[in-house]
Structure 1
Amino acid sequence: MRKFLLLCCTLFLLSACSVSEKYQKIPSNETVDEKKPEKVEQKAPVTKDKKISVAMIGDVLLHEQLLHYKDYSPSFAAVEDDLQSYDFLLANQESMPVGKAFGLSGYPKFASPDYIVRDLKEAGVDFLTVANNHTLDHGEKGVLAALKNIESYGLPYVGAYKSAKDQQKMRIVDVKGIKIGILAYTYGTNGNETPPGKEYLVNRIDLNVIQKDIKEIRPNCDVVIVNMHWGIEYQSKPNAKQKQMAKAISNAGADIIFGNHPHVLQPYENIVANDGRKTHVFYSLGNFFAAQQDKLTYVGGIASLEVVKDAAGTIQVDSPRLIPTAIIEKNGVYFVEHLKDVEKQAVRSVDWVKDTVGLDE
């Protein structure tokens, strides 16, 4: 009997040990040996600065010798790589592209073929300014026809408008995340008056209006460009009025001023506004493509700047540059060339351009 009891006690103890081992193997949050997952530190994504190039070419003015080209692309081929290299390129289309319906004509009342817009766009132009002394050469009908043609080729415009509503629409272009606002004005329209009540057809220079326009567009964009059709023809230095207006436009909030109308190059200037900002002024870019009698107008330039927007939204406009260009006639056909490549044929040298503008290529 005692042996039997001893046997039963032994079996019971062995069973208890087995159950105890079983339950000890169940995972527990309190198990000392358990490895907890390591915390992975999430790094904020690195925000890179945004950087673009902004540029403008001078007057596109189709005189009689240039009216009947079927395609202007060959005329721009030599500088096309430069034109297409910029992120945003403006051009002053001075002779209105009204088309054949108005009868093509040169000076003094220009009527240019509409496809000059097509070929400028293909060459790299992104935006046209059309506030100049020839805007009203063919009156209201001419403005409306020209703007319709410009729109048909998919280019935006500034300085002349179809209606008051069109004029009130801010011209702001987003270029790779940097918003550029564009304004344009002309000193006059060669005595061609604006029809009463239709002042929207062309923007005229009025400092009060310009300052108001800059104040309105400034909060909506990163960079403000103002195109001014001003100055005295064939003068290679800005006059006192240009200087005065440039200072006022700078203080109003403009970052860049591109000038046209003199048909020759004028200096670059860096103006410091009252609030400490820099305003880059190219007083005149000369002619890009034209055929005036005065051969001194056959030299112009491509002006450019770099715009940088950092992660904090701070904007810096810098690195002003001008590439000199020359209009060269070959067997009755006119071409835009790099001045350095045709210096022996041109009326001005690269050194003259450097001395006049104050910038190296």
Structure 2
Amino acid sequence: MRVHIAATAAAVVVLTSAASAAAAPTLVAVGEVAPGGRLEVRATGLKEPFRVQERRGDAWVDRGPVVYGTGKPSRFRAPDRVGRLRLRARGGDGVATPSRDVRVRPLTLAAVGDINLGDGPGAAIERFGAAYPWTSVGPRLKAADLAFGNLECAVSNRGVQQDKTFTFRGRPSSLTALARLSGLDVLNLANNHSGDFGTTALLDTLRGIRANGMQPVGAGSNESQAYRAVVVERLGLKVAFVGFDAIEPFAFRAVGGRPGNAWAFPSRVRSSVRAAAAQADVVIATFHWGIERVFTENASQRALAQTAFAAGATAVIGAHPHVLQPIRRPRPGRLVAYSLGNFVFTPRSAGTERTGILTLKLGAGRVLGDAFAPARIVGSRPILRG
């Protein structure tokens, strides 16, 4: 949900001493941080040096470094637990600021499956308006701290239709409405339809996503950009996304300076996830994989998921089969959703109308919990149950 984007990953807390003549004691803060998230605390009106302290039981315990200099921050990690964090700052003369509470809660990531703005959904948008796909699910997605989906089409008025059985293309106005109404922050393009109208349309799609305040992953204007992680900051956590395609056309892959998507070579999965893990607290690896209309994962999917986890992925999210596949938890703190099925799509066989929103609760380096809100596709748009 883009309204929560901040300039820094750190949750900022400003503690003001009662001794300050400039203003009454106040706290200026986001008020929330994820377990293990970065906190940046500033104090004013204190005798240098000062130090931030955390209340533990009946005692105040020092946190973060000793700070010299008015307005300089103290930076440290929040506890790796959910609850209340009570903080104060204590100056060199023993004078302390009033205490303030920071809520420690999981970061919520909402994830959905295939989104097609052309074909059947495109016709419905033409008839009922660009808001049509999002009337039921938009509020739920916007309620999450972050939202992610697989954009299964090109979005452009240009390009040359490729020689393949199904080609999907949406209007730029539909992407603008998606950005405004869906709550989605990151869109995967590592799939077998992002190149349906050639590299010109792919580049338009990349530009359109960014111009509407979202981030594309899994494709780029060259090979390096296609495999590069997208890092988004929320609640003091850096969340990295990487995307990989394992479904032909193989010709859609980015090579050298040619635009395209990131192919799921195990060696590239390994190196991309490792690079993402080196710069983020949570890594979400997404794959376009599996067999259409098959309700369980295959050995190839399991192997790629294991490669991603071994390289440092926190969660793996899959798409392409057009049906829901199992959500599995291979070990504590890790989760793989092998396929989230269709989302904004036209169902064409039994089971392809079943969909939903997967919500992950995240702390630094681990999945703390998950829930799945089921939905059904009616008229090419998802409708939540209940």
- TM-score, L = length of structure 2: 0.68
Q: 1:102 to 1:292 in 2, by over 3 A?
A: farther
Aligned to 2:248: 189
The letter of the residue matching 1:213 is: S
> Higher Cα Rg: structure 1 or 2?
1
SS in 2 for 1:132: coil
SS in 2 for 1:78: coil
Contact 2:241-2:284 within 8 A present in 1 as well: yes
Aligned to 2:148: 90
SS in 2 for 1:141: helix
Segments of structure 1 that go 5 or more residues without pairing to the other structure are: 1-37, 309-313, 342-361
How far has the Cα of 1:151 moved from its partner? 2.2
Aligned to 2:47: none
Say whether residues 1:301 and 2:356 are aligned partners: yes
Aligned to 1:285: 340
SS in 2 for 1:124: coil
Q: Distance in 1 between matches of 2:356 and 2:215?
A: 22
Contact 1:114-1:150 within 8 A present in 2 as well: no
Say whether residues 1:78 and 2:103 are aligned partners: no
Deviations 1:92-142, CA, capped at 9 Å, x for gaps: 101111236768xx9612121122322222221111111101122122112
Q: Distance in 1 between matches of 2:264 and 2:132?
A: 35
The residue correspondences of 1:15-54 to structure 2 (distance < 5 A) are 48-54=103-109
Contact 2:242-2:276 within 8 A present in 1 as well: no
Contact 1:136-1:189 within 8 A present in 2 as well: no
Contact 2:190-2:219 within 8 A present in 1 as well: yes
Contact 2:323-2:342 within 8 A present in 1 as well: yes
Say whether residues 1:108 and 2:156 are aligned partners: no
Q: Distance in 2 between matches of 1:107 and 1:115?
A: 25
How much identity, in percent, do the aligned residues show? 24
The residue correspondences of 1:228-243 to structure 2 (distance < 5 A) are 228-243=287-302
- Determine which of 368, 373, 377 is the counterpart of 1:318: 368
Say whether residues 1:250 and 2:305 are aligned partners: no
Aligned to 1:55: 110
Q: Distance in 1 between matches of 2:353 and 2:248?
A: 23
- Determine which of 58, 67, 75 is the counterpart of 2:122: 67
Q: 1:64 to 1:43 in 2, by over 3 A?
A: closer
**Total equivalences in the alignment:** 290
How far has the Cα of 1:321 moved from its partner? 1.0
> Greater strand percent: which structure?
2
- Determine which of 309, 320, 334 is the counterpart of 1:261: 320
Q: 1:194 to 1:240 in 2, by over 3 A?
A: closer
Q: 1:316 to 1:196 in 2, by over 3 A?
A: closer
Q: 1:153 to 1:102 in 2, by over 3 A?
A: farther
- TM-score, L = length of structure 1: 0.73
Deviations 1:36-55, CA, capped at 9 Å, x for gaps: xx976778866642531011
Structure 1 segments of 4+ aligned residues over 4 angstroms from their partners: 38-48, 100-103, 193-196
How far has the Cα of 1:191 moved from its partner? 5.2
Q: Distance in 1 between matches of 2:214 and 2:107?
A: 20
Aligned to 2:279: 220
Q: 1:300 to 1:40 in 2, by over 3 A?
A: same
The letter of the residue matching 1:65 is: G
Q: 1:123 to 1:195 in 2, by over 3 A?
A: closer
Deviations 1:222-279, CA, capped at 9 Å, x for gaps: 100001101000011001111122122111110011100000000011112xxxx632
Q: Distance in 1 between matches of 2:209 and 2:94?
A: 59
> Greater helix percent: which structure?
1
Q: Distance in 1 between matches of 2:185 and 2:159?
A: 26
Q: Distance in 2 between matches of 1:167 and 1:196?
A: 9
Give me the CA root mean square deviation: 2.8
Q: Distance in 1 between matches of 2:94 and 2:352?
A: 70
Q: 1:215 to 1:65 in 2, by over 3 A?
A: closer
Q: 1:74 to 1:88 in 2, by over 3 A?
A: same
